[in-house]
Amino acid sequence: METTSKTTHGKRFDGKYCYNGRDLGAVCCPARTVFRVWSPEAERVELSLYRDDAGEAFETLPLKRGERGVWSAVVEGDLHGTYYDYEVEAAGRTARTADPYATACGRNGAHSMAVNLARTNPEGWASDVPPPRQAEQIIYELHVKDFSLHPGSGVPQEYRGKFKAFAALDENGRPPACMEHLKSLGVTHVQLLPIFDFATVDEGGDDGQFNWGYDPLNYNVPEGSYATDPSDGAVRVRECKEMVQALHRNGLRVVMDVVYNHTYHADSWLERTAPGYYYRRRWNGALSNGSGCGNDIAAGRAMVDNYIANSVLYWAKEYHIDGFRFDLMGLMTVELMNRIRRELDLVFGPGEKLLYGEPWQAGDSPMEADTHPAVKANLSLLSPGIAVFCDNTRDAVKGSCFDGRSPGFVNGGTAQGEAVLSAAAGWRDGAWEFNPRDCSQLITYLSCHDNYTLWDKLVLCVSPGEGAPGPDAFTQYREDLMARNRLAAFICFTCLGTPFFQAGEEFARTKLGDGNSYRSAPEVNRLDWDRAWRFGALTDYYRGLIRLRRALPGLRDKSPEAWDRVTDRTVYGPQTVSFRLAGGGPCGEDLLVVYNAAWEVCHIELPAGRWIVLADGQWAGQRRAAGQGGEWIAVPQCSGLLLQRLRHSV
């Protein structure tokens, strides 16, 4: 495996040209706008100004080269709403480019826009603050368009699939049904799939287009297809802020899914302004492809790291974003992630902003010298406060995400009992070659936007026959699948770590067996709010689990000692296991947890003391007598059981 890139842009180059100012882009004030672009090897840079996002330039003027490769120009007058781009002559090529540091743009992002950001703030923005941070963070992954596109969302037609859907109110001043549902779940954070400007949706096209958004075009600009007017760069900025404001108002913090590991085109604005600098290359000069998307951003170089860290800080400050989820974080460096954690803590306070990501790559990628990839093998090098997705738990519970027919513990597997116990204890035992420093590093989940939904995975594993199930198999209600879904959720919410789940998982979301719906029809991807009401009992079960999770300190404990309290791990059979979660200190409750994935009743002898049931396979959030030590309790088929020992009992 290569450790360094083939490049002339090494440390000597960074030492000569690294610019640490945070004023690149167009700094727009009422009296004048200052344009600055980093293009260290350019021979000429020219600025063109436009009155709209599609017309001819009304003025062209040269930029002046300054120190450390920064070119600049000052234009007098109020340029708010004026569009612009650059012509850059560098490396034997003349290219027209948008501004990679732009904070606004026109339709489809080819023209940047000068914007006075203070003029984009919605009413009350200065007083917008997130809801108080909770003792437990529970994350709900959501796509902007999916949320409100279905007619049953209750959102007015003109706002469906848009940022404005989150702020919509009916004639009585109440939020629409989709927002009421979201508020009622009890989650603390909404993680939004990419909301920066991405390349694969025509912002002037119709609502029949769809993409998850993992194809960056303009990193510091909101996506125009989510705005009511994509041709006016200020509209998308203001409406994105309104969305964040509305989520805060409804008691939810906002996490932004960020994709700094690659760009949609290798011939990006970054490449056109600084040819050869921003991308990793192999020994023969070819672009590396650790992202699986054709290119890798060269994290580890000074100006790349500045770009990413400053972008994160920009979204946190300007848009009041409360956390960041890094796509393919394994293509970032440990050093960069630790820097981002440090800078967020300095500005907002320790741990105030969530920071986590995928600790893997899609393929090998050459790293800069003296840097370390932010992958699972390097968890011990990551600063406290940086968590990672735990695919080990996901696969132990429901089977391989890449093979729809491969079962896990809840859907027919007979070899995952020990792994599920390792998951419950935060993988401290090193099973599956996974060694987190403590459970605060773990994001515990069953499904996300990638691969099959949890429900579809269950259908594929449990449905009889050799062929692919038909559409009816995914849409119909089946109690056996509901039991497996409830058990999977029960396991997720009783494992150490931070719980995370995909929007709609709580009402058996289906994509009809589509395991990679990144550009499938909106009808496949949208949340079906009619299904939400039909599968409401499952949603109630998720709500109960969330309430229990937030109420029980033992379950939400993230201290280094948390996994020491997981004791008496017992395997009764290939599909039935249990463990104790001992009390002590602030974690006063003593819990007994049973996972029974077998399709038959099992009987468990109660330990000493008097016990009550807090959750079983049907109801989460109860308090009924279970029995005393030495007595036997039945655990129904395919269900979980959470019991609490009463204090001072014998």
**Residue numbers annotated as active site:** 327, 358
Contact predicate 256/180, CB 8 Å: no
Question: 348 is written with which tokens?
Answer: 């907002």
Burial class (CB in 10 A: 0-12, 13-18, 19+), 66: exposed
User: How many CA atoms are closer than 13 Å to the CA of 292, on its beta-carbon side?
Assistant: 9
DSSP 20-71: --S--EEEE-SSEEEEEEE-TTEEEEEEEEESSSSS-EEEEEEPEE-GGGEE
CB under 8 Å to 506, separation ≥6 — which residues? 185, 489, 538, 539, 542, 543
The token pair at 215 is 């194809």
For the chain, give the number of residues: 650
SS3 helix, strand, coil % of the chain, rounded to 5?
30, 25, 45
165 near 192, Cβ under 8 Å? no
Q: Angle between the 479-492 and 417-424 helix axes, to the nearest 10 degrees? A: 40
**Residue 399 corresponds to which tokens in the numbers above?**
């089977």
The answer to whether residues 365 and 359 touch, using CB atoms and an 8 Å cutoff, is no
Tokens of 372: 């370390």
Residue 171 has a CB neighbour count (10 Å cut-off) of 5
356 is written with which tokens? 């986590």
Answer yes or no: are the C-beta atoms of 219 and 311 closer than 8 Å. yes
Tokens of 342: 């440090």
